[in-house]
Amino acid sequence: MTSVTSLFAPVESDLSQMTDNLKQLVGARHPILYAAAEHLFGAGGKRVRPAIVLLISKATMADSGLKPTHRRLAEITEMIHTASLVHDDVVDEADVRRGVPTVHASFGNRVAVLAGDFLFAQSSWYLANLDNLEVVKLLSQVIMDLAEGEIQQGLNRFESELSIEAYLEKSYYKTASLIANSSKAAGVLSGVSEPVAMNLYNYGRHFGLAFQIVDDLLDFTSSMDALGKPAGSDLQSGNLTAPVLYALEEKPYLNVLIEREFAQETDLEQAIDLVLSSKGIQRSWDLAKHHAQLAAEHLSDLAPSASRQALHTLTEYVLSRGH
């Protein structure tokens, strides 16, 4: 399988430029945020979200190339994503992400809250200055959805009655909304028609759902080394994902363990084993595959190009992670 880096070849230099800009922007004026910026925009981030924005921008501009507003949109997308990660880590009291300590763990709550607020603030300012009210609306909806997703996740901890539909809704808020709306926004900035814009939105939505389902699967099927965080950590914190919700249908004892919030020493380990030995893993892969295929089908408006090909290959790549 191709690496994600080679997939991004059509926009690789644009992505490097973006990363440098973001480090400068956050770090240059504020020593207090400098270390956080290095940390946030340094090695490790896959930059999937801005890559999709840039690939869609190229694919919808034919030979005219990227506009400055496309590049700015990619930056905004990565800033919003990063801001929400930083605050999520405060809220979840997470100490490790992508195998490195979180901003919250390294620099404390104070810097983490400030850094997140600064990134949200800078992104709304950039957004306003794109001078496109439709794009402002699309991305401010994302900021709302991210807050909604984080709150829903907080409300539904250890809620074993959660339906797959409610899980997908939460996954939309937490992950797919940003990819869907920024994909559409990239098309809007290129001046595509409304039906094409909606197809780009649905590409992003289904890709985002597949991406999140695979992420949730990897929490069970990957090792600590590959994940950069302990396996089963979603389950431990009461965040019930697709593999668990499917497993609950065939393993009633799993419900007992969840209801008592893994109070006894071997509870978590037993619960993980129950999930792994259920059909939940395969059914979740099937669900991810379903959304990845739907994503690919929404690319049919785009003329053939290296960027369109990369967007298509991404829908296969998302399924190959950890398989």
Q: Which residues bind its own copies (CB under 8 A)?
A: 30-33, 87, 90-91, 93, 109-110, 113-114, 116-118, 120-122, 124-125, 127-129, 131, 133, 136-137, 140-141, 143-144, 146-148, 150-151, 154-155
Q: How far apart are CB 111 and its own copies at their closest, in Å?
A: 8
Output 155 or 263, the one with its CB closest to its own copies.
Answer: 155
- Residue pointed to by tokens 């399924």: 319
Strands of the chain (E only): list them: 96-97, 100-101
Instruction: Report residue 39 as tokens.
Output: 């940390």
**If residue 32 lies in a helix (H) or strand (E), which one and from where to where?**
helix 31-41
- With CA atoms as reference, report the closest residue to 116 among 148, 82, 145, 141: 82
Output 122 or 241, the one with its CB closest to its own copies.
Answer: 122
CA distance 221 to 213: 12
Q: How far apart are CB 300 and its own copies at their closest, in Å?
A: 30
Output 23 or 290, the one with its CB closest to its own copies.
Answer: 23
Output 46 or 137, the one with its CB closest to its own copies.
Answer: 137
Output 128 or 226, the one with its CB closest to its own copies.
Answer: 128
Q: How far apart are CB 191 and its own copies at their closest, in Å?
A: 18
Name the amino acid, one letter, at 57: S
- Residue pointed to by tokens 């699309």: 138
Q: Return all residues near 144 (Cβ < 8 A) that are at least 6 apart.
A: none
Q: Note whether 219 and 232 are within 8 A (CB).
A: yes
Q: How far apart are CB 113 and its own copies at their closest, in Å?
A: 5
- With CA atoms as reference, report the closest residue to 50 among 38, 33, 31, 66: 66
Output 141 or 233, the one with its CB closest to its own copies.
Answer: 141
- State how far Cα 215 lies from the chain centre: 9
Q: How far apart are CB 135 and its own copies at their closest, in Å?
A: 9
Output 222 or 237, the one with its CB closest to its own copies.
Answer: 237
Residue 54's φ and ψ, nearest 5 degrees, are -70, -40
Q: How far apart are CB 136 and its own copies at their closest, in Å?
A: 5
Name the amino acid, one letter, at 257: L
CA distance 128 to 137: 10
CA distance 321 to 316: 9
Output 15 or 32, the one with its CB closest to its own copies.
Answer: 32
- Residue pointed to by tokens 């298509």: 312
Q: How far apart are CB 81 and its own copies at their closest, in Å?
A: 14
| CB atoms closer than 10 angstroms to residue 87 | 22
Q: How far apart are CB 31 and its own copies at their closest, in Å?
A: 7
